[in-house]
A and B are shown apart, each in its own frame.
Chain A
Amino acid sequence: MASARPPGWRNPDPAHPYDLLILGGGPAGLAAAENAIDCGAKVALIERDLLGGVSLLTGSVPSKSIIRTSRLYANMRDAENFGAIVPTGIQENFAATMERMRRLRARISTYHSADRLKIAGVDLYFGAARFAGPDSIIVEGAIICFRKALVATGARTMATVIPGLEEAGYFTSEDVFDLTECPRRLLVIGGGPLGCELAQAFCRLGSHVVIAQNEAKFLPREERDAAQILSESLARDGVEIHLNTTVVAVKTATTGEKLVDLVSDDIKSTIAVDDILTGVGRTPNVEGLGLDEAGVACDRVTGIRVDDFLRTTNPRIYAAGDVCLEHKFTHAAEASARLAVANALFGEERKWSALTIPWCTYTDPEIAHVGLYVSEAKDRSIPIKTVTVLMHDTDRAMIDGQEEGFVKIHLREGIDEILGATIVAAHAGEMINEITLAIDAHIGLSVLATVIHAYPTQASAIKRVADAFAKSRLTPPRAHDISRPEWPTDLG
């Protein structure tokens, strides 16, 4: 990971003032730096630790890497369902899995390396920084002035407060990728995206995984059917599921195993595990930045306060990424950074609320969403209609043995306007981009119905939704309509 912070790095002599000073070298900071430098601005970027941020170091990159390996193991065990032979003696090699992950992480880090930034013309500083005033910052004793600044310091895993947990010891996403041995028995606390992804991955890599979620379903913000399919999938993999369950205490037995007390309504139980992983929430990195000195308002829970243009309460200073956004995704961080740069350096008035941000949970099947949920549309009194196509009606999904899931597209009732979509499918993360494009470009389903999709592809399920919509427009349903052709009753 030398490219993320070369040994012996010497900070440059500050140029005064910088057009844009960026605090934080994660996805938002790096995107902002590259974007601003391409526009000819004089740019400084300050990173406290390693370039790449959570996404590269402890987030998307390492998790997707081990998910990929875990899928391979799942596929090997599933070989018989594909007319193949299950390899004899499948032996998980956790060390090799982690080694591949580190290799990939190192390789990807070179694309945003310190050297590349330097060559591109970015003044890169390493060290802890804090605002000295409304237009200056101190890093490693040097005062750096700026015309505009962007705070992109990201977020970290939220501390989990459970009696005895601290003493027993636990992993978060920040250190779980440092594991050298696969936990024999692993408790995952929290059924959000990260908890579900890692629960499934570790299970497939050989752990006995228990997941405890204190709500009635996994992925609470996602649609019920999506969460239900995920629940089935996790159970099929062998994950022990405890929904509506709260972890109330942890003790360490003399054997070293961790005894965890669970409560679900009036049912109390204790389970024994070897390791615990918490995946509950993220908290913005706002401490020690001298935000008060800069006149930047913030909240410890929601982060830096920004307006729709991502401007903070100091009009010179903008924020982007996890430190200020509700949606803490790498692609959202990068998009927000580009928007903030345009607004800060060129006086544009691009609105964050105008962007369409998709997201995906990379379980198997994947669960992707973009735009409004039904509940959000109802809260806004927008009449909504959902057109659904099951993946089991899609030729390629049948061929691939990946029939679980659906494509649901939400439309404004009576109008061909896509408001949102949820896709549950093996490649939902890839498929959702087509819907995102449609929403962004104000393309309706009647246009998507005319787009030729390569055959056979799983994405053709989207075209089937469009076709179903087009058909329903031609033949609107009526109450007590018995004219619709049905399966004849004389079939066996």
Chain B
Amino acid sequence: MPDAIAESEEQLLEQLQKAAFDYFIEYVDVTTGLVADTSRKGSPASIAVVGFALSCYPIGVERGWITRADGAAQTLKALRFFWNSPQSSKADVTGYKGFYYHFLDMHSGRRAWQCELSMIDTTLLLAGVLTAAAYFTAPTVEESEIRALAEALYRRVDWQWAQNGHETVAQGWKPECGFLQSCWEGYSEATILYVLGSASPNFPLPANSFAGWTSTYQWESIYGYDFLYAGPLFIHLFSHAWIDFRGIQDEFMREKGCDYFENSRRAVSIQREYAARNPLGFIGYGPNLWGITAGDGPGNEELRESGRDRRFFGYTDRGVPFGRDDGTLAPWGMVAALPFSPPSALTAVRHMMERFPDICAGFRLSSSFNPNLVDQGGWISDGYYGLDQGIVVMMIENYRSGLIWKLMRSSPYIASGLRRAGFAGGWL
């Protein structure tokens, strides 16, 4: 149950952002600097969550929530861990070819479960690493080491190996079976992957790699909006946490007279249109309550309620307008949409907090909730996910000050990667 919802926008955002930021203080391993994937007991670390944490520390410093020295120390701990951890093709190490396994044991830092070496999660980690390098620019020993390690970690990643002989990058690799069969098809959160891969000094992705990926895009007019389609909302948010896409265009967007920022704004509009239509008749949906995306869910269950047969899912891809949709909403998705459509996002957040106060304990937002499953009193995701907290902190900051966007604009690899991928115009 949250405290009273602040009337001022600034105060509300401060409350939400600080509560999310604290996740990275509470769930970090003091030795390795790794951050837990979720707040649930026994959760392994997620390398993507570490990437978000590294991006949030500068925000914490600027907001006065931690000191610069603490932020640098925490950052350095994680960077040293990643640089010194074992890299090989063996099954129980930390990474291979500069990439890292998606989940790592919080304490030993070794591969957790039998998870995959993840190209996109390594990208999100590297985005955090480069954010840290762009922020900690003081000529101190610690901050100099941060920059040196960031450079070394970035240079070590063998993006060309990750192509596995193809134009585009594979999604993952396992020592047990090699590259995974799944591949990137259609617009996704991988824009930042191609930007960072293209700028690599040692193993750059070839020029045709990004174009090969964009050739699988779907440009559609849906609900009257011309739009680069992707169903789950997070796809329209993640790369934008780091890269300011306002006014810069690649070849695809030049052709369409749009840009990726505007596209995300339209994605929010389509979420609202879908929720207003609410074709499956879920409780709560409306133009001011949306946020249908990949994430946790109530679990695989079939029920009959509200005069309909219902199917619910666990952790899965949800999206609009083609599905999946089981009535599960992601509160953080509405907050993270703030830079694209401030009135829509702010209204939705207030509406959600007023109508479903239980999803926001102490202003920290649950990963997802489902007000259906009426007999069970609805469902709220247990605990918190680091990814959600990270993007809330970053997107609120981008809305409030543009800090992360400004930092990443100054990163030479972001700028050169964007140019190599064919972006031009605007701040580039």
Residues of A that sit less than 8 Å from B by CB:
78, 80-81, 215-216, 223-225, 228-229, 232, 235-236, 244, 264-266, 374-375, 378, 383-388, 390, 392-393, 403, 406, 408, 413, 468-469, 471-472, 477-481, 484, 486-492
Contacts and interface: CB of A to CB of B under 8 A. Distances in A.
Nearest to A263: B177
A386 B223 CA distance: 12
Contact of A224 (B186, B257, B262, B347): B186
Contacts of B218: 223-224, 374, 386
B309 A81 contact: yes
B288 interface: yes
A468 B180 contact: no
A107 to B, nearest CB: 36
15 contacts: A80-B304, A216-B182, A224-B185, A244-B181, A265-B181, A385-B219, A386-B219, A390-B222, A406-B322, A469-B221, A471-B224, A472-B224, A489-B343, A489-B348, A492-B288
A225 B114 contact: no
For the complex of A and B, list the 6 residue pairs with the smallest distance between their C-beta atoms, beginning with the closest.
A487-B287, A392-B279, A266-B176, A489-B347, A266-B177, A386-B220
B213 to A, nearest CB: 12
A157 to B, nearest CB: 25
B351 A492 contact: yes
B311 A236 contact: yes
Contact of B174 (A266, A378, A383): A266
Contacts of B277: 392-393
Contacts of A492: 286, 288, 351
Interface in B276-305: 276-277, 279, 286-288, 304
Contact of B221 (A375, A388, A481, A491): A388
B219 A479 contact: no
Given A375-B216, A472-B224, A486 B269 contact: yes
A408 B220 contact: yes
Interface string B253-289: 0010111001000000100110011010000001110
Given A236-B311, A468-B221, A479-B258, A229 B343 contact: no
Given A244-B181, A488-B287, A489-B344, 15 more contacts: A78-B309, A224-B186, A224-B218, A229-B322, A386-B220, A387-B220, A390-B279, A390-B321, A406-B321, A468-B224, A480-B262, A486-B344, A487-B273, A489-B346, A489-B347
Contacts of B224: 468, 471-472, 484
A264 B177 CA distance: 9
B34 to A, nearest CB: 24
Contacts of A266: 114, 174, 176-177
* Interface core residue of B221, B225, B272 (most chain A CB under 10 Å): B221
Contacts of A224: 185-186, 218
Nearest to B278: A392
B262 A472 contact: no
Contacts of A469: 221
A478 B265 CA distance: 13
